[in-house]
Structures are given as C-alpha cells and as structure tokens.
Structure 1
Amino acid sequence: MDIKTTFEESVAASKSLPNQSNENLLKLYSLYKQASEGDVNVEKPTNFFDFAAIAKFNAWESLKGVSKENAMQQYIDLVKSLGN
C-alpha cells in the first residue's frame, strides 16, 4: 500500500480517536495541512484575539520545509500512537 492511501486511511481513523489534548489536535492539524498543501500558504491571522487561528497558523508554519511525504508519515505515526 502506498503512503498516500495509508495517509487517507489515517485521516479517516483520526475522526474516531478518543478526545485529544489541544496539543495533539494542533499536531494533527499542522501535519495534515503540511501533507496535503505543503508549506503554509495563507497570511497570518491579524485578529490578536483569535487564539485558535493563530495557534493553527503557527503550528503549520513550524513545519515549513517538511516534505509532504514526511508529513504524511508523521501523521500516520501520530494517529497510530494516539489510538493505543
């Protein structure tokens, strides 16, 4: 099975994970965005009080330069570890 198929299966499996910490949710989000879109391609949120949007942006931006395939593998590994 190729990594893209395994990634898509992990994305589906992530929806049935037990409740996760905000830290784990940010990791999942940023790895998903990096794997599916590559480096961050949107402007940083300008509303200082939109903490969730800023945290998501920063988490995704922290993965700048990570290849899509590497991000897919990290996402797959994280979902596996959280499902145990």
Structure 2
Amino acid sequence: MSDLDAEFDASVSAVNGQVKDPGTEIKLRLYALYKQATSGDVDGRRPGFTNPVGRAKYDSWASVAGMPTDDAKRAYVQLAAGLPH
C-alpha cells in the first residue's frame, strides 16, 4: 500500500467518524472524489427529477469525470483535512 493509499484510507475513516455535519456541498464533493478515486468515471443514466438526492450525487460525481485516481485521492485528503474535528 502506498503512502497516498494509506493517507486516503485514514481520511475516509476520519470523515466517516465526523460528528459535525460539514454541509451538503462538502458532502457532495467528498462523495464525488471518493467515487472517482475508487470507481473511476461515473457511468449509467442520470437519475430523474423524482430522485433529487441521486441526481445531485450523480451530477457531483460527473463534475470530476476524467480526474485521475491519484488526483482524486489527493483532493479528498486535502478536503477532509480542512474539515472541523
């Protein structure tokens, strides 16, 4: 496991253990970066208007399409480090 992978895993654990809600925009950004880092580009159809949460998550993930895995991990780690503890 590389240093980046270990740092990413530690950041994921820290985010999952957050007590304070960082807000919707931050959570969507973290979701998008996590999915890009672990699954690559978004695929499938965009959810319809009857699924606003799924649609927001899809749009957020699509916004980072093409970002390399390591860049997504670095961005996730950086964003997670800035969250209040």
Structure 1: gaps (5+ residues)? none
State the alpha-carbon separation in 2 of the partners of residues 29 and 44 from structure 1.
Answer: 16
Shift of 1:37: 0.6
TM-score by length of 2: 0.90
Residue identity in the other structure for 1:25: K
Residue 5 of structure 1 and its aligned partner are, at CA, apart by: 1.1
Q: Please give the alpha-carbon distance, in whole angstroms, between the structure 1 residues aligned to 2:74 and 2:84.
A: 15
Distance 1:27 1:19 in 2: 14
Q: How high is the TM-score relative to the length of structure 1?
A: 0.91
Cα distance in structure 2, aligned partners of 1:36 and 1:83: 24
Structure 2 counterpart of 1:52: 53
1:16 maps to 17
Shift of 1:15: 1.3
Structure 2's unaligned 5+ residue stretches are none
After TM superposition, give the deviation of residue 60 of structure 1 in Å: 0.2
Q: Which residue, 42, 47, 72 being the options, matches 1:40?
A: 42
Task: Answer yes or no: is 1:74 the counterpart of 2:49.
Answer: no
Q: Aligned-pair RMSD on alpha carbons? A: 1.2
Following TM superposition, by how much is the alpha carbon of 1:16 offset from its aligned partner in structure 2, in angstroms?
Answer: 2.0
Residue 26 of structure 1 corresponds to which residue in structure 2? 28
Secondary structure of the corresponding residue to residue 5 of structure 1: helix
- Structure 1 runs of 4+ aligned residues shifted over 6 Å read none
